[in-house]
Amino acid sequence: MKRWPPLLAALLIPAAFYVASASREPGAWDTAELQGVPYILGIAHPTGFPLYVLLGYVWSHVVAIGSVAFRLNAFSGIAVAVIVLAGYVVAREFGAARRVALAAALWFAFTQNVWSHAARAEAQDLAIAFASVSIWCFLRWMNAKGDLWFLAAFACCGLALAAHPNALWILPAFVMGALVARRRPRVALVCAAALALMLPLFLYLYLPLRSAYIAAHGLDPTSGLAGVNGGIFWNYNDPRTMHGFVTELSGSQFHTPRYFWAAFNPAHAGAAANALGTGLREQFGIVATVLVVLGFLVALRRNWRATVVLCIACTAGLFFSVAYPNEGDVGRYRLLTSWLAVPLLGALIPAVTQRTGRIAAMLLAFGLTAGAVVAFLHNDGLLRHASREGGRWVIEAVRPDVADGDVIVAGWLDATSLAYGAYVDGSLPGRVVVSDDQLQMDRYRQWAIGHRVYVLVDPNAVHDLSGAVDDARLDAYHELYRVTPP
């Protein structure tokens, strides 16, 4: 019975605070998109994140509490709570005492990078939840717990990939682990594991199938606008076509494949190592970072095979994070890196029965708990929310000027908020939202022949909008222009 209270605490304590910190209002940028796309069974930006969309659809309709934005924010919060729980059980795999493992897990839970991502809709949260469970399962197999753990590890990895492809960076660790394990996996087990990994990837067929349904039933409001290759929220990249499907899967419009291969360049090793050290120091402080290094040395001596696998699984993705320049929120690519601190801090002092060992474990648990409390107090502002926060204000700001049936063009940052209002909660009913950062005025003027078209821009960054007349100043960074036909 002693094992259940800390297990539940590692899950329920962070889950409670994450849900409490979930905003009721739509966000902006990717957040607003991931708050809305699952609810309408739409198609998100590359790579589509089908498992996140499908599970988010079920969650947002079954757990019908509060706004849709709140439901999807809370959904991500629960996913991050699972990551915290996985950190606890992995620390236990490395011999940590229960109180030490729990304290380390809670400190991780309340660090700024973790809590801020747990408070908002994020596909990476779900992917890392499955990835962290996958790592735990693999370590269980390495510790001679049975072949089913090997299969479970690859099945969870496949589910993680179906939520976000960044989870693929844990696979090199599994290959390494299979090669150095005390008992090598049989050929039949490897084949079964490969199948378990591949099956969840068929969820990506959701993209062309749903896209075809949306097109056939006229659900995408932008379908009548020339030059729009699938509207945001509903049919991003129009993946019912082969070209659209490949573009959606590869993220080629963001040059992602090129940067993926660049991640294998050893020249990025220094930047990746710096990102590791800097990230740990920013989230946990210098003293704790030193303790993480000491924990790594202790764990390496106790079980070098499992330690190497754990460290590769948690840090391989750093190479992509430093090579990819198009990421506006690199912290979400590095959640597993800070998660690594949980088992390594826990490994410092194993669960022992001797009196001196128990005292040392109590002191370590006390120190880690203090770190968790300080982190909580430093970041508890995430529990407080202002009225009309996030993207709500821009929805309300454009509503008096843009009427039912009008088209409004905005950059991705604001377009997702407006799309949430237009397609999800009905606060901008009938508006047609187009995301475009290129300001293709000739195209918009053609649309203006049959529609009223508006462009929302930052007046400080745009000085010439030929073919448009100033309509309204929303704030210092948002100006609304009415597009005139040719």
Judged by DSSP in three states, 143 sits in coil
| Of 319, 348, 383, the domain-final residue | 383
Do 305 and 427 share a structural domain? Answer: no
What is the structure's pLDDT at 145?
87
Phi/psi-derived region of residue 127, left when phi > 0, alpha when psi is between -120 and 50, beta in every other case: alpha
Residue 169, domain member (yes or no): yes
Q: Which residues pair with 45 in a beta bridge?
A: none
Q: How far apart are CA 475 and CA 458, in angstroms?
A: 9
Q: Mark whether 460 and 412 lie in a shared domain.
A: yes
Residue 477 resides in a domain = yes
DSSP E strand stretches across 186-328: none
Same domain, 271 and 364: yes
Whether residue 325 sits in one domain with residue 195? yes
pLDDT at 144: 84
Residue 284 lies in a domain: yes
Yes or no: say if 162 and 51 are a contact pair by the CB < 8 Å rule.
Answer: yes
Half-sphere exposure of 412 (CA within 13 A, CB side): 11
Is there a single domain that holds both residue 379 and residue 479?
no
Asked whether residue 90 falls in the same domain as residue 162, the answer is yes
Instruction: Provide the sign of the torsion angle of the four alpha carbons 470, 474, 479, 480, taken in this order.
Output: negative
Alpha carbon 337 to chain centroid distance? 14
State the pLDDT at residue 260: 86
Looking at the fold, whether 339 and 475 belong to one and the same domain comes out as no
**Integer Cα distance of 445 and 451 in angstroms:** 9
pLDDT for 357 equals 65
**Do 15 and 128 reside in the same domain of the chain?**
yes
- Please give the DSSP secondary-structure letter assigned to residue 184: P
The reply to whether 308 and 454 lie within a common domain is no
Average confidence (pLDDT) per 10 residues, the chain, 486 residues: 85 98 96 98 97 98 96 98 98 93 98 96 97 98 93 98 96 96 93 97 98 97 92 96 95 86 89 93 95 95 95 95 85 94 92 67 92 96 90 95 95 97 96 94 94 94 86 92 94
Are 151 and 263 within one domain?
yes
Q: Can you give the pTM of this predicted structure?
A: 0.95
> Of the candidates 353, 383, 413, which is a domain's last residue?
383
Between CA 61 and CA 67 the distance in angstroms is 11
> Are 307 and 430 within one domain?
no
**Separation CA 463–CA 456 (nearest Å):** 13
Residue 77 is given by DSSP the state H
Q: What is the pLDDT of residue 405?
A: 93
Strand order, beta sheet including 407-410: 432-435, 407-410, 453-457, 478-483, 468-475
CA distance 132 to 136: 6
C-alpha–C-alpha distance, residues 205 and 101, integer Å? 40
Q: Note down the domain range covering 408.
A: 392-483
247 falls within a domain: no
Q: Is residue 47 part of a domain?
A: no
Number of CB atoms found within 10 A of residue 55's CB: 18
Residue 325 within any structural domain of the chain: yes
> Among 330, 351, 383, which residue terminates a domain?
383
What's the pLDDT at 356? 60
Task: Give the pLDDT of residue 351.
Answer: 66
Same-domain pairing of 82 and 181: yes
**Number of domains the chain is built from:** 2
